[in-house]
Structure 1
Amino acid sequence: MNATARPGVMLGLGVAIAAYLLSFFHRVAPAAISGDLQATFAIGGAQLGTLAATYFYVYTVMQIPTGVLADTLGPRRILWWGGLVAGVGAILFGLAPSFELAFVGRTLVGLGVSVTFIAMLKLLALGFDERRFATLTGLCMLIGNLGSILAGAPLAWATQAAGWRQVFVVVGLLSFGLAFASRAWVIETPAGKVDRTAWLTGLVSVLKNRATWPGFFANTGLSGAFFAFAGLWAVPYLTQMHGMTRATASSHVSIYFLGFAFGSALWGRVSDALGKRKAVALAVSGLHVLGWGVWLWATWRAAGALPLAATYALCIVMGLASAGFTLSWASAKEVNPPQLSGMATSVVNVGVFLGPAILQPAVGWLMERTWDGRMEAGVRIYSATDWRNGLLLLTVAAVAGWFATLLVRETGCRNVWKAREEK
């Protein structure tokens, strides 16, 4: 299809984007309610990190199966079932009387929303011109990232006004609504489907392709550092190390993801315009790595807190730069057969969630090693040394991700697998 798809495709894509928006909300929400979760369930940093990362555990495991399902069953069916499961999980999380049930609820949320992004990419791959894939992916992410912005300052406000439990019950009901909308409006996408009896052969083909893997490792480091911080530890870090209120700290998370949203749209467009994937990703991801040096330096700074203008500026710049890893999906699609686009993008997308799944609890565990036992209102208070240990781990992960980007194959924004086959 060309860039202007027929109305039915656009309507279904709109539903997929809305489901993706909710998935981003769930991904980031623990940052704004971290104190509430610690106080409600009487848990420490390591348990808090595990609860938040449960979403990423399930998302990680589900990415390759989701790619297979997107290429065989199609986006319509997986969005329907995903919405139902996510709705049940969000309501259970909101009503959970214990840490264990909250863990189960968060797990179901991760399982349900794990299909949204790949379903959206599959609709883009089948319904639009491949030369605009990165641009359109970025625009969809720009809209979807509103969910992460809502999980910042707006969630902090709603939590104070109505309570965090009520917010998640409402979000669960919205998931049910999107499930029914996907069943009604997302069209079947038979064109380009893989033979359901041959999906394993296709998956093996993607996994054996060496050009698939650099994007996976880049995502593990770069996205891992980004989501581990912005999705959980940013708010407690900013309140404890920089003396901010929870509302001000949460607004930084919103700014962080606002930058990420616009960066997702911007770098895809720049990449498509320049006809380059790797060069753009290297440049902007390098800026992201430098930002970690600033946060780390602040833990050694004798004067303590950075000026408010500086922290806001750093969040917007790092948000923009963090979006460099989003070019990995276009790169993965372009080094594999077009009919395997769902599997190809899902393999590199595993890294996006494996990184935070490892790093969120690991940061908490490291800080617990040197924690001096201080608590306020049921929330653990960490020292500059504790935060330095946690941020150093995130910095190392980001640097490793940047080095992996050096190994990504430059595709020139076209399917080089097709080009090789034609030769």
Structure 2
Amino acid sequence: MLNSQPSRRFLQLRWTAFIIVGLAYVLSFFHRFAPAAISSDLQLAFNTTGASLGGLAATYFYVYTVMQIPTGVLADTLGPRRVVAIGGVIAGIGSVLFGLADTLAVASIGRLLVGLGVSVSFICMLKLNAVWFHDRHFATATGATILLGNLGSVLAAAPLAWALGFVSWRTVFVIAGALSLVLAGLAWGWVRDHPGEAGLPSLRELDGKASHPKHAGHWYDGLLIVLKNRMTWPGLWVNMGLAGSLFAFGGLWAVPFLRDVYGMDRAAATDHTTWLLAGFAIGAFFIGTLSDRLGRRKPVMFAGALTYCLCWLPLLFGVPLGALAGYVLFFVMGLAAPSFTLSWSCAKEVNPPALSGMATSVVNVGAFLGTAIMQPLVGWAIDRAHAGSVSPLGLADYQAGIAIMLGFSLMSLIAIAFIRETYCKYSNA
């Protein structure tokens, strides 16, 4: 029971870490999706093609992808506090540089630094969730993390479009950089890596059980254990298809698609992405909670992935969308997409508890590798379809891009069949 003075201290430290690192995660989501709302501003400022714009936006995802496994190693060795603080400083510098950039090359460097800095927040958050919450509540805590993080994606849609009526996009990113630096300082001073660091017992000890054993070998021995476990890998493909297509679409191509195919202005298009991302935030929380309560992972994951795939069909064929129908479609699409979040729980649960950071980081590579591939690939497909045409962009130009994202989504649906059902507990517990 968490009712003694040490237990109250435990709760205080748990929620302090959750809020501070969670706010850093909010900023990572903001940076992930903001290019969609300012795509036309970026094209005007840097005179870019669709492929170049996709490449600029994807710079964030390239470095984010590369950093996932190193972040897992750092979270399991240095600890989340130090990693989040250093990442916040790097992201802050990158955001300011992006906001002040006068060329595409400088903007790309700024975007790369942002991606490098914020790439650590989520894996560190999962590591903190693994030590500050019960195993049986991990998916729920992770869903709450996604719900909190998605405040950033919501802010990057309609609220950002509204703010751009008063300040330039450059000012927005300078302010975001300053916030990153503030959160870095708070993380360094207030976050604790685990209860033992504050002289407190772990949750398992409070339940009268032995703590999970620490990893005895070198970090690369632990990484090899994770990489050699064939049950780690299916989740990577689930993330690549579901998360990758969602981030590529919601983070860059949704607003231009709605503008060019359905004739929406920026405000109406960003309203749709707001509903998409709000659905994602709500779905992530309830999917995790539903899975924990049912004690199952795969059925919930499969149902969500199938629904998400079906949502692409009206967009692929340009089915006319009234205002209400469009909002409902985008909301349901967002609600179903976070079924991929359960793959993090599965990856953690089929590997030793001490290696949870590495296990989740390997799977999480898929989300950002998929986005890094799809954002410029979709842009290339659009440019290729429109090559030589003097007419405005339309459905025929976007169909190949939508088909690419649907194809990746279907790949995830197949990959779910290869995930091991963990019944919401460690396989070696």
**Aligned mates of 1:128, 1:389 — CA distance in 2:** 44
- Residue identity matched to 2:135: E
Measure how far apart 1:188 and its partner are: 3.6
**Aligned mates of 2:360, 2:86 — CA distance in 1:** 21
Measure how far apart 1:384 and its partner are: 1.6
Which residue number corresponds to residue 134 of structure 1?
139
- Deviating more after overlay: 188-197 vs 65-74: 188-197
- Deviating more after overlay: 4-13 vs 127-136: 4-13
Query: Structure 2: any 5+ residue segments left out of the alignment?
Result: 197-211
Measure how far apart 1:297 and its partner are: 1.7
Which residue number corresponds to residue 414 of structure 1?
425
Percent identity of the aligned residues?
52
Is 1:116 the counterpart of 2:116 in the alignment?
Answer: no
Which residue number corresponds to residue 410 of structure 2?
399
**Aligned mates of 1:381, 1:93 — CA distance in 2:** 30
Which residue number corresponds to residue 55 of structure 1?
60
Q: 1:91 to 1:81 in 2, by over 3 A?
A: same
**Aligned mates of 2:195, 2:60 — CA distance in 1:** 31
Which residue number corresponds to residue 345 of structure 2?
330
1:212 counterpart SS class = coil
2:21 pairs with one of 4, 8, 16: 16
1:370 counterpart SS class = helix
Which residue number corresponds to residue 184 of structure 1?
189
Which residue number corresponds to residue 385 of structure 2?
370
2:362 pairs with one of 340, 347, 351: 347
8 Å CA contact 2:261–2:395 kept in 1: the answer is yes
Query: Structure 1: any 5+ residue segments left out of the alignment?
Result: none
- Residue identity matched to 1:243: G
Deviations 1:221-247 (A, max 9, x none): 111111110110000001111111101
Is 1:100 the counterpart of 2:111 in the alignment?
Answer: no
8 Å CA contact 2:215–2:355 kept in 1: the answer is no
Measure how far apart 1:39 and its partner are: 0.8
Deviations 1:296-341 (A, max 9, x none): 121xx5xxx4211111110000000001111111110000000000
**Aligned mates of 2:239, 2:398 — CA distance in 1:** 23
1:407 counterpart SS class = coil
**Aligned mates of 1:364, 1:394 — CA distance in 2:** 12
8 Å CA contact 2:128–2:193 kept in 1: the answer is no
2:234 pairs with one of 214, 225, 235: 214
Q: 1:410 to 1:188 in 2, by over 3 A?
A: closer
- Residue identity matched to 1:331: C
2:296 pairs with one of 276, 290, 296: 276
Which residue number corresponds to residue 200 of structure 1?
220
Which residue number corresponds to residue 318 of structure 1?
333
8 Å CA contact 1:202–1:340 kept in 2: the answer is yes
- Give the alignment's TM-score, normalised by structure 2: 0.92
RMSD: 1.8
8 Å CA contact 1:71–1:194 kept in 2: the answer is no
8 Å CA contact 1:72–1:195 kept in 2: the answer is no
Measure how far apart 1:9 and its partner are: 2.4
Which residue number corresponds to residue 41 of structure 1?
46
**Aligned mates of 1:328, 1:270 — CA distance in 2:** 14
2:243 pairs with one of 218, 223, 234: 223
**Aligned mates of 1:397, 1:274 — CA distance in 2:** 28
2:315 pairs with one of 295, 300, 305: 295
1:276 counterpart SS class = coil
8 Å CA contact 2:37–2:156 kept in 1: the answer is yes
Measure how far apart 1:189 and its partner are: 2.9
- Give the alignment's TM-score, normalised by structure 1: 0.94
Which residue number corresponds to residue 386 of structure 1?
397
**Aligned mates of 1:193, 1:153 — CA distance in 2:** 47
Measure how far apart 1:294 and its partner are: 1.6
1:169 pairs with one of 164, 169, 174: 174
Deviations 1:256-284 (A, max 9, x none): 01000000000000000100001100011
Is 1:79 the counterpart of 2:65 in the alignment?
Answer: no
